[in-house]
Structure 1
Amino acid sequence: MTETSDLRHRSADAEITLTLDGEPLAGREVELSQVRHRFSFGCTAFEFTDYANGTSERPDGDERLLEQWEGLFNFATLPFYWGRFEPERGKPDTHRLLKTAEWLVGRGHTVKGHPLAWHTVTADWLLDLDNAAIAQAQTERIRREMNDFAGVIDMWDVINEVVIMPIFDKYDNGITRLCRDIGRIPMVRMVFDAAREANPGAVLLLNDFDMSAAFECLIEGVLEAGVRIDALGLQSHMHQGYWGEEKTLGILDRFSRYGLPIHFTETTLLSGHLMPPEIEDLNDYQIEEWPSTPEGEERQADEVERHYRTLVAHPAVEAITYWGMSDAGMWLGAPGGFVRADGTPKPSYERLHRLINEEWGTPPTTIATDAEGRLGCNGFLGDYTITWQDREAAFTLDAAGEQRLTLELG
């Protein structure tokens, strides 16, 4: 299994020659800062839709949460659950979501849409259609969203939880009906073909919570059928307890054998009591109160650090998305956020902040150039600036190993 401490694939050594008006900037102290990680540290941004659209009922609280969010993350997921996005056929919530996505991109964040096809929270009006019409509506929906959001959202969870999709029996829905009729692999092909046709340059994910061999069989069948998948999405909602390094590494090694980038798309770790182990469907655990506790918060902080260290160390992993910033509004009412419902940060927030911004980041650092205007640095892959007085130069560490750069201060 992959070790959890070797991060050479995440960093680069750089020898940089600085020039000013074409001459080496010799013997000067300059400031080096990392602006953005190449690795996608992500979280849901559902809670900022009203704030971005100027309709928030608590703008001060949202502004505070945004500041906390941006203290950790550079990658946002926005909701496209069909039943909420288009509860009435022909009236999608495009304007509001597009404005939110543009606002996030304008703040320097990459945005992903989740999901384009899913049997849960899907449109109720599909039940009035036959399967052929459901298929047509689904592919038209995908083309519409891919076109409307192109250039703003160019990454999508195209289809969600296909392993269970045709056998889902909690309630009747049009997508399960269709998948049961045509089969999993044709269903995946249909939605991926529609997405690829609409936005050929988009990054398209196959996402699932099922980490069993059933998901492996699905992936193999889809790939053998010639469907192009850009990345695999693996969910890790750990409401019943932290997986631990051994299980996590085992999952990573099993799914990395396909040679595809891996995104941990939905991660949750709790700071309160754990869900009982006998619960099979997490949605079945509904309780009135699920408080965060001091002991739980210390446990969560330790587990968050262990989980992120394990994932970042694995070379196949390109992104981690945490499923909720604050306990206010968390899925199932679980105490899984980095921030308590009252807006105060938990120990897990401080722990992850230190990892991302200090241990794996480069805070503003003063470095002196030599007589030839050269300086050396080592940093995590990403975007950087060098500043001297009122002059600045930008550069990117985009590949592990050694780089030699010459930069003109402008």
Structure 2
Amino acid sequence: MPTDVDAAIRAHRTADAALTVTVDGEPLAGREIVLRQRGHRFPFGCTGFEFIPLASGDPAGAEGAAGSLGEAPVADLAGLAERWFDVFNFATLPFYWGRFEPERGRPDTERLLATARWFVERGVPVKGHPLAWHTVTADWLKDLSNADIAREQVARIRREVRGFAGLIDTWDVINEVVIMPIFDRYDNGITRICRELGRIPMVRMVFDAAREANPGATLLLNDFDMSAAYECLIEGVLAAGVKIDALGLQSHMHQGYWGEEKTLAILDRFARYGLPIHFTETTIVSGQLMPPEIVDLNDYQPDRWPTTPEGEARQADEITRHYRTLLSHPSVRAITYWGMSDGGWLGAPGGFLRVDGSPKPSYDALRALVKGEWWLAPTTLATDGAGRAGFTGFLGEYEVSAAGRTATVRLDAPGTAEIPVALERPTVG
């Protein structure tokens, strides 16, 4: 029986399309047409860090300068890629400054360009993460004055955003600003300048640099802090006239699934700013939950953190509930899962695949949504006397075939759509 969530997903993620099909300008009346979905408009994302070796041809790969925060080693990259592309259509690549440019003036540009190009050539848009962050930042900044650190940060942003334009046009511009000026775990250049400048001037500085380098880019403010402190930051930034394109909300659920009520309450709080919301970093573990008294997730790194059968069943259920909840809310415009394989960030069993590469129930559960419940199976429709036929589908790209010819159509907005379909190209293959 359909639920309120089902109804909301249909309302926000599908369209009723009326196709008017012509062949060489004449209505295709009383004929069968075949409809095949080719892609989703909604970005179902995942990290693409692991594919740096495969895409760039560099065996140093994700263990080299562009690596992330302890991503899982993967033996069968080709097999991983096949599973990745069967579900996901949006990739995040790592631009942690301390890994991207560990030696001043020698950025790891070419491998990241090759990897971004590899995704784009396969029809997958890419986001860069992050341009400014106090963690994993360049150690050599500490030898500079605050004024020079600020200049280097701005120059770095302009270099990356301009240099990757056309391949990467979406960026997490600045990460975790709420804690940035009070971060006291270790000295770093970014905390220094944020402490001196203040949060809002810091955000203005980095967003202005990114906007100047690529005026058409989608620029995100990203944070893990879901408290009122993040709301205060957003309000201050917007009041200062800084243009934010989307809000990034992190959801590393190592201490347990948030649940539908909490998730929707968070979404409603942040939706009031009228900005698109990206769930930028989601993890749900399939092993022992992190103790609730842990404040900083980085403080819990056991020697072994295995997946368990009971945990895998729980993870699959929670993944299904989480994705359905997010798609039911109209403000959510993208979801990125933080790692395909177990043993990634903090060594957690948070992936869709076990360390041996075998899929967990969560992988099958998510695929059943993305390529099952939310995907139109090949469908045969009959046109009427005016060449018209209708269908309801999830927003995305569709192929229409008839009379030995084919055309591509898109559903780009929920509601109803009148779409002319001109079949003027022979079907290939």
Check whether TM > 0.5: yes
Q: Distance in 2 between matches of 1:390 and 1:176?
A: 62
Checking the alignment, whether the CA contact within 8 Å between 2:50 and 2:74 is kept in structure 1 is no
Match of 2:23 in 1: 20
Checking the alignment, whether the CA contact within 8 Å between 2:305 and 2:348 is kept in structure 1 is yes
Name which of 93, 96, 100 aligns with 1:78.
93
SS of the residue 2:238 aligns to: helix
Deviation per CA, 1:191-224, whole angstroms, max 9, x where unpaired? 0000001110000000000000000000000000
SS of the residue 2:401 aligns to: strand
Match of 2:69 in 1: none
SS of the residue 1:367 aligns to: strand
Task: Report the residue type matching 1:128 in the other structure.
Answer: D
User: Deviation at 1:56?
Assistant: 4.6
SS of the residue 2:39 aligns to: strand
Task: Report the residue type matching 1:378 in the other structure.
Answer: T
User: Deviation at 1:130?
Assistant: 0.8
User: Deviation at 1:186?
Assistant: 0.5
Name which of 348, 351, 355 aligns with 1:337.
351
SS of the residue 1:210 aligns to: coil
Match of 1:405 in 2: 419
TM-score, reference length from structure 1: 0.97
Match of 2:185 in 1: 170
Deviation per CA, 1:61-104, whole angstroms, max 9, x where unpaired? 11111111111111000000000000000000000001100110
Match of 1:67 in 2: 82
Deviation per CA, 1:267-318, whole angstroms, max 9, x where unpaired? 0001111011111111111111111111100000000011001100000000
Q: Distance in 1 between matches of 2:338 and 2:74?
A: 22
Q: Distance in 2 between matches of 1:339 and 1:290?
A: 14
Name which of structure 1's ranges 317-326 and 23-32 shifts more when overlaid on structure 2: 23-32
- Structure 2, unpaired ranges of 5+: 61-72
Task: Report the residue type matching 1:277 in the other structure.
Answer: P
Task: Report the residue type matching 1:216 in the other structure.
Answer: E
SS of the residue 2:5 aligns to: coil
CA spacing shift, 1:338–1:32, aligned 2, 3 Å: same
CA spacing shift, 1:375–1:60, aligned 2, 3 Å: farther
Checking the alignment, whether the CA contact within 8 Å between 1:51 and 1:59 is kept in structure 2 is no
Match of 2:166 in 1: 151
Match of 2:213 in 1: 198
Task: Report the residue type matching 1:357 in the other structure.
Answer: K
Task: Report the residue type matching 1:293 in the other structure.
Answer: T
User: Deviation at 1:27?
Assistant: 2.8
User: Deviation at 1:54?
Assistant: 2.0
Q: Distance in 1 between matches of 2:177 and 2:420?
A: 49
Match of 2:370 in 1: 356
Task: Report the residue type matching 2:5 in the other structure.
Answer: T
Deviation per CA, 1:98-151, whole angstroms, max 9, x where unpaired? 110011001000100000000000000000001000000000000000110011
Q: Distance in 2 between matches of 1:133 and 1:56?
A: 35
Match of 1:309 in 2: 324
Match of 1:391 in 2: 405
Deviation per CA, 1:6-52, whole angstroms, max 9, x where unpaired? 12121110110111122222333222111111111100000001000
SS of the residue 2:168 aligns to: coil
Checking the alignment, whether the CA contact within 8 Å between 1:21 and 1:408 is kept in structure 2 is yes
User: Deviation at 1:60?
Assistant: 7.7
Q: Distance in 2 between matches of 1:382 and 1:44?
A: 22
CA spacing shift, 1:389–1:335, aligned 2, 3 Å: farther
Task: Report the residue type matching 2:31 in the other structure.
Answer: R
Matches within 5 A, 1:314-333: 314-327=329-342, 329-333=343-347
Task: Report the residue type matching 2:350 in the other structure.
Answer: G
Checking the alignment, whether the CA contact within 8 Å between 1:159 and 1:205 is kept in structure 2 is yes
CA spacing shift, 1:60–1:267, aligned 2, 3 Å: closer
Is 1:224 matched with 2:239? Answer: yes
Q: Distance in 2 between matches of 1:54 and 1:95?
A: 11
SS of the residue 1:4 aligns to: helix
User: Deviation at 1:374?
Assistant: 1.6
Name which of 321, 340, 346 aligns with 2:360.
346
Name which of structure 1's ranges 262-271 and 342-351 shifts more when overlaid on structure 2: 342-351
Name which of 142, 146, 151 aligns with 2:157.
142
Q: Aligned residues: percent identity?
A: 70
SS of the residue 1:154 aligns to: strand
Name which of 51, 56, 66 aligns with 2:54.
51
- Structure 1, unpaired ranges of 5+: none
Match of 1:288 in 2: 303
Q: Distance in 2 between matches of 1:71 and 1:298?
A: 21
Checking the alignment, whether the CA contact within 8 Å between 2:58 and 2:111 is kept in structure 1 is no
TM-score, reference length from structure 2: 0.93
Alpha-carbon RMSD: 1.4
Task: Report the residue type matching 2:15 in the other structure.
Answer: A
Question: How many equivalent pairs are there?
Answer: 407
Match of 1:119 in 2: 134
Name which of structure 1's ranges 259-268 and 339-348 shifts more when overlaid on structure 2: 339-348
